[in-house]
Structure 1
């Protein structure tokens, strides 16, 4: 490939990744070019299948979902095979496939992130109930720990002359798990109103926590709108769970600090700081925190990028 064609593939991946406007995206922009390329290739691949499930399949009426379920599961299988380098045909555009081949598939990242996310997407498509916290953790292993593992890997791996090679003393997932789950729980708090309004199928909260708060999943959007007293109870339970993962995640950050470059650690610590600040904002009045979160998040992102631009 020419340099221009290669650059075009990564620009294509950046455009897909940019649709989400995620905090992770802003942190990745602080990284050196080789790490950015790895990030945008992998994130675009993950974004495509996640959007196909959440924004397309799960938004259809029940009869359409029933009719299309087998096809959607086959699409997830094909996506996983493409991401693992075992198939050419599938839902990934050729630009993303080439970018993946250039970075991820040449690395020693391994199969875990792709198999994990595929398992979580299958669970969504099959519309399996999330009964308790163990179900949540099982789902989160693919839905959030898998992408977090990719991010930790690309921060720490040695780009080398031809491909990334892991140089962490432990598997990347051991550093990523608690940080990923903490950030995911903050996402759930932040997006509770929006997700419930769109569809209760997008609400990934265990039934046991909803029942403890006196709430019903199919009436969650109404409960948020009417400021049902059960919503702050639910938020407090989620914050308690998140706090435990934050405590362990901070230990992971400390273990990672001597293993990462200065800019890489700055990007990771800055990303976690955004989520910690949002987490603290939800500690008092949840509804006030919900209203304040969008402006606060924009400000935190700007602060991170401005600080990263300084010498």
Structure 2
């Protein structure tokens, strides 16, 4: 990563990454981000180093609170969750305050805080993504019922649109002496919303068996959709194992809703293409291609699609690596 600074004379020159955000801090963030092995991570590796540093700092911060809620809280027995709920909610509050630069104490380690302070907070990204994810995490910690599709969309606006907004912001914002600055006429949320929700719905389809096996609380499907399929959350894990036809009904419903967001998301993709750099467009296009390919694979036989998903995802990620090497 580099930033503009003045040299001994009046001419400006680039300064190295270590002067903006310590290389060790970025390496620390990169290691945290890499634990998830997410498609977003593979796409981000196509970006220039300056954008990668921004990505790893912000993604690591989001990854830490998401894992704390999913892996450290929701999978625990009911009595343990009840006893730890206030502590979990307080941790989310402290995390939000740290991300917004309003507190030093909280669940974020010092290297992540330093990276956020030196790269992300000097940008004009704003507070919305951090507030959005924090609110989604509070819904999880409170175990707020997800009854209707509108409840899902409200949850997704933080759980998936927030990180998608940061990624889209990063593709189009330009580095400057004062930090990254957004330069497009519409806000990044407008480009990110439908693409983010589409990818999230594909995630839900891909991970249905794994999430249902670990805990029904990790399954973010509204009760209304489950009722339409004639199945309860408590039945999902066994129903997937038995290749129950009700799972196919549920998957078809989710795919139909995902398809509507994909149509709108493709419009955003087409609009963004001419406005961002070549590497940035390759990263975004490659990322969406992974999810579209998975989405289409689920359309024939959902159970066969789930079985084929890991291999398909690995192959498509390898293609991203080829694109990275060519760059």
Same fold by TM (over 0.5)?
Answer: yes
CA distance in structure 1 between the aligned counterparts of 2:156 and 2:296, rounded to whole angstroms: 22
TM-score of the pair, normalised by structure 2: 0.94
Which ranges of structure 2 fall in alignment gaps of 5 or more residues? Answer: 1-15
Matched, 1:260 2:279: no
| 1:81-129 Cα distance to aligned partner (Å, 9 max, x none) | 0000111111100000000011110100001100000000000000011
Residue 206 of structure 2 corresponds to which residue in structure 1?
190
- In structure 1, C-alpha distance between the alignment counterparts of 2:266 and 2:18, rounded to whole Å: 40
* Corresponding residue to 2:52 among 8, 14, 36: 36
How far apart in 1 are the matches of 2:87 and 2:80?
11
Q: Residue 302 of structure 1 corresponds to which residue in structure 2? A: 318
Secondary structure at 2:125's aligned position in 1? coil
Structure whose CA Rg is larger: 2
Structure 2: distance between partners of 1:133 and 1:58: 22
Alignment of 1:16-31 (within 5 A): 16-31=32-47
Query: Paired residue for 2:285, among 250, 261, 269?
Result: 269
Task: Work out which of the residue numbers 27, 46, 69 in structure 1 matches 2:62.
Answer: 46
State the 1:168 CA deviation. 1.2
Distance in 2 of aligned mates of 1:226 and 1:255: 43
CA distance in 1, matches of 2:242, 2:58: 40
SS at match of 2:211: helix
Q: Which residue of 1 aligns with 2:189?
A: 173
What SS does the aligned partner of 2:160 have?
helix
CA displacement 1:10-32 (0-9 Å, x = unmatched): 00000000000000000000100
TM score, norm. by length of structure 1: 0.98
Distance 2:263 2:194 in 1: 8
Structure 2 counterpart of 1:11, from 13, 24, 27: 27
**Distance in 2 between the 1:146 and 1:14 partners?**
19
Decide which of 103, 108, 130 is 1:87's aligned counterpart: 103
| Residues in 2 aligned to 1:210 and 1:16: alpha-carbon distance in whole angstroms | 34
Q: How does 1:204-219 map to 2 (within 5 A)?
A: 204-219=220-235
Contact 2:46 2:323 in 1 (8 A): no
* CA distance in 2: counterparts of 1:214 and 1:175, whole angstroms: 35
Show the counterpart of 1:200.
216
Compute the displacement of 1:44 (Å): 0.1
Q: How many residues align?
A: 311
Q: Deviations over 1:218-238 (max 9, x none)?
A: 111011011111000000000
Tell whether 2:246 aligns with 1:230. Answer: yes
Hey, what does 2:11 align to over in structure 1? none
Q: Provide the secondary structure at the position in 2 that maps to 1:107.
A: coil
Distance in 2 (alpha carbons) for counterparts of 1:280 and 1:106: 40
Which consecutive residues of structure 1, in runs of 5 or more, have no partner in the other structure?
A: none
Deviation digits for residues 270-290 of structure 1 (CA, Å, limit 9, x no counterpart): 100000000000000000000
Matched position secondary structure for 1:103: helix
Q: In the alignment, which of 250, 255, 258 is matched to residue 242 of structure 1?
A: 258
Tell me which stretches of 4 or more aligned residues in structure 1 moved more than 2 Å: 1-5
**Counterparts of 1:87 and 1:132 in 2: how far apart (Å)?**
36
